[in-house]
């Protein structure tokens, strides 16, 4: 199969499978998340409308409170001052239709029982009306007992009125904020501002897009005190009772309206779902305006919300599918740009492996692949040059290898032949010499001859290991059996020094190695431990698995090897202690060569308590059989 298709199968197919699984499992989760965010967004919209109305009403009520405070502080206003004040109030904000000051009969100043009103006429200019108790218009107007002056007079508290039609102001639908003022603790009159519901509608419409965004719930503002509708997006409804039978009012049935009112009047703010008799369900979001008794209500059909959510989720899934399709195309094109020259390199490498070095690849690109092609051609030239050099070197090595083998045969023969004569003579002299001093010298001679004999054997074995190296035949051997065999072989030496040996093996651990080399290495380590142990001391032999490595540890309580000499004793003829017959020779060098062949290592720790030699093997490369 071509590499480009492998890339497609290795990358694109898993991506496609994961994407399908992702879309399948994430769809419901994504739908729930989008629906939750959608609902939260509408709920925030309701809160934003409430905040907008609250800020506007608070600023206007503060304006009236300020005017009332001026009246209370001055106590004796002139007519001109009052007209100027209410004109400034109307001009303060375009949403204000009119402002008034009413001096009641309890006021003892010159303006007692008078009424002053400023309002915007049809040309948006500020006009004034004023009359006192002597005027017929005054009596007719206040005989109607409007809530805006009767309730504050009775309670002494400010208030926002419900929507009402003021015939004196042109039969316009408006709401009024009233603030009573007091002089020396006595009620004296009322200051008011009027706001047309049409102006509130314009305020909300101006901010509708900013607040609602792409959503379009049905917005209502209702006075909680009398359930009159202050605002709705549909004409002909503001000012009517929300539960009334007018055909132009809210489209929901009576049960639905009652449920909605129960929700909004008994909860400060939040959202819920209301189901009508016809089975339609509606999200109801409501938030109270803190500065008055108004409630902002947003109503949205659940089916419309679900459609919007489904549309949003569908757009996300479509975007994912488009992205994945584009990703597949990009990966395919990119992989072709990469794999085509690599295919050429692959074909050329096959020809080169067959010995055809006359080929070269022509890829003219200024990128890593172009550099790879150039380096590949250079490599071909280097391979040809190296092959020729290796042929010449191989010829020389064959000559040297043959000479080495001849030398090893010769040195083995030439060393061992005189040694045999010396050994025979030493035994002969041992039988005929009785002088103690001469016999002592004779023992030294025999020991030296034995050391030289061992040296020649060891040197030949190390040379053999170097020649054979990692090609030596390896088998699976039981470490515990080898250790027990070595201990039995060296038992006479142990008994001679009255040494106690203790063993501790992990579960029968099988080591994959050259059995002969492993056994001789253990003999070397244990023999050294015996030779350098004090009489009547203990030698400990144990195997264990530590840090995922198999270790053979042999420790004794003999002489201490100084740290600066530990590294030297594993070298041929290394010295661990300056003595003519101790720590001298090739024993540890033999062990080092054995460990190199098996990718193992040696650890030596020596202190006043003990000297411990550890042979460390990688556990992963061996077999552990119980």
Tell how far CA 620 is from the center of its chain. Answer: 34
**pLDDT beyond 60 at 574:** no
Does the 472-624 domain belong in CATH 3.30.565.10?
yes
pLDDT tens figures, 434-452: 778 777 777 787 777 777 7
Q: How far apart are CA 82 and CA 34, in angstroms?
A: 57
Query: Does the pTM of the predicted model rise above 0.85?
Result: no
Residue by residue, DSSP assigns 512-569 as EE-HHHHHHHHHHHHHHHHHHSPTT-EEEEEEEEETTEEEEEEEESSPPPPHHHHTTT
Domain residue ranges of the chain, discontinuous segments joined by +: 3-54+306-344, 472-624
Highest averaged pLDDT of the listed ranges 120-129, 160-169, 615-624:
120-129
What is the crossing angle of helices 13-74 and 197-212, to 10°?
Answer: 150
**pLDDT beyond 80 at 494:** yes
The DSSP code for 12 is I
**pLDDT beyond 80 at 276:** no
Q: Among residues of the chain, what percentage have pLDDT more than 70?
A: 76
Count Cβ atoms below 10 Å from residue 433 Cβ, excluding itself. 13
Pairwise pLDDT comparison (494 vs 21), residue with the higher score = 494
- According to the model, what pLDDT value does residue 353 have? 72
The DSSP code for 138 is H
pLDDT (mean) for 277-299: 81
Pairwise pLDDT comparison (556 vs 408), residue with the higher score = 556
Q: How far apart are CA 262 and CA 258, in angstroms?
A: 6
Largest Cα span, the chain: 170
Candidate from 249-253, 301-305, 502-506 with smallest mean pLDDT? 249-253
Buried b (16+ CB within 10 A) or exposed e, 315-338: eeeeeeeeebeeebeebbeebeeb
pLDDT tens figures, 322-336: 877 787 777 777 777
Pairwise pLDDT comparison (554 vs 239), residue with the higher score = 554
């Amino acid at each position: 199969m071509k590499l480009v298709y492998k890339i497609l199968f290795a990358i694109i197919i898993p991506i496609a499978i994961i994407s399908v699984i992702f879309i399948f499992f994430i769809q419901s989760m994504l739908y729930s998340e989008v629906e939750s965010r959608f609902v939260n967004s509408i709920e925030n919209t309701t809160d934003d409308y409430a905040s907008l109305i609250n800020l506007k009403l608070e600023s206007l009520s503060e304006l009236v409170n300020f005017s009332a405070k001026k009246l209370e502080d001055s106590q004796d206003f002139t007519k001109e001052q009052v007209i100027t004040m209410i004109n400034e109030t109307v001009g303060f904000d375009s949403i204000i239709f009119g402002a008034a000051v009413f001096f009641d009969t309890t006021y003892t100043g010159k303006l007692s029982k008078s009424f002053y009103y400023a309002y915007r006429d049809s040309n948006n200019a500020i006009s004034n009306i004023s009359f006192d108790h002597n005027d017929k218009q005054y009596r007719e107007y206040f005989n109607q007992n409007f809530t805006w002056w009767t309730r504050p007079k009775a309670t002494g508290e400010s208030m926002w009125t419900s929507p009402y039609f003021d015939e004196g102001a042109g039969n316009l639908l408006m709401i009024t904020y009233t603030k009573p003022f007091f002089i020396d603790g006595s009620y004296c009159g009322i200051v008011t501002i009027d706001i047309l519901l049409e102006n509130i509608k314009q305020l909300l419409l101006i901010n509708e897009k900013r607040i609602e965004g792409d959503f379009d719930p049905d917005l209502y503002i209702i006075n909680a005190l009398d359930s009159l509708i202050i605002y709705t997006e549909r004409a002909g409804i503001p000012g009517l009772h929300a539960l009334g039978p007018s055909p132009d009012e809210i489209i929901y049935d009576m049960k639905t309206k009652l449920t909605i009112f129960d929700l909004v009047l008994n909860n400060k703010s939040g959202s819920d779902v209301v189901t009508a008799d016809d089975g339609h369900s509606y999200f109801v979001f409501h938030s109270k305006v803190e500065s008055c008794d108004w409630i902002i209500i947003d109503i949205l059909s659940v089916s419309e919300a679900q459609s919007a959510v489904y549309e949003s989720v569908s757009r996300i899934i479509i975007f994912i599918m488009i992205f994945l399709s584009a990703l597949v195309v990009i990966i395919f094109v990119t992989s072709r740009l990469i794999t085509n020259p690599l295919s050429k390199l692959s074909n050329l490498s096959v020809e080169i492996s067959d010995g055809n070095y006359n080929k070269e690849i022509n890829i003219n690109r200024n990128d890593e692949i172009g550099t790879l092609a150039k380096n590949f051609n250079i490599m071909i030239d280097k391979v040809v040059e190296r092959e020729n050099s290796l042929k010449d070197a191989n010829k020389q090595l064959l000559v040297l290898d043959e000479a080495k083998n001849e030398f090893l045969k010769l040195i083995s023969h030439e060393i061992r032949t005189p040694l045999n004569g010396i050994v025979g003579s030493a035994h002969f002299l041992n039988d005929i010499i009785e002088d103690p001093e001469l016999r002592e010298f004779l023992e030294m001679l025999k020991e030296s001859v034995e050391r030289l004999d061992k040296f020649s054997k060891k040197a030949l074995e190390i040379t053999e290991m170097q020649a054979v190296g990692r090609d030596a035949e390896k088998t699976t051997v039981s470490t515990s059996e080898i250790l027990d065999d070595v201990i039995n072989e060296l038992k006479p030496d142990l008994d001679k020094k009255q040494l106690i040996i203790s063993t501790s093996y992990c579960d029968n651990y099988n080591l994959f190695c050259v059995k002969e080399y492993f056994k001789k290495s253990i003999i070397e380590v244990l023999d050294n431990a015996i030779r350098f142990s004090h009489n009547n001391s203990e030698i400990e032999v144990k195997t264990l698995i530590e840090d995922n490595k198999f270790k053979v540890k042999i420790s004794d309580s003999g002489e201490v090897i100084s740290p600066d000499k530990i590294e030297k004793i594993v070298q041929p003829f290394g010295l661990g202690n300056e003595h003519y017959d101790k720590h001298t020779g090739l024993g540890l060098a033999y062990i080092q060569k054995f460990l190199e062949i098996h990718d193992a290592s040696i650890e030596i720790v020596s202190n006043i308590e003990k000297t411990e030699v550890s042979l460390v093997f990688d556990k992963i490369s061996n077999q552990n059989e119980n």
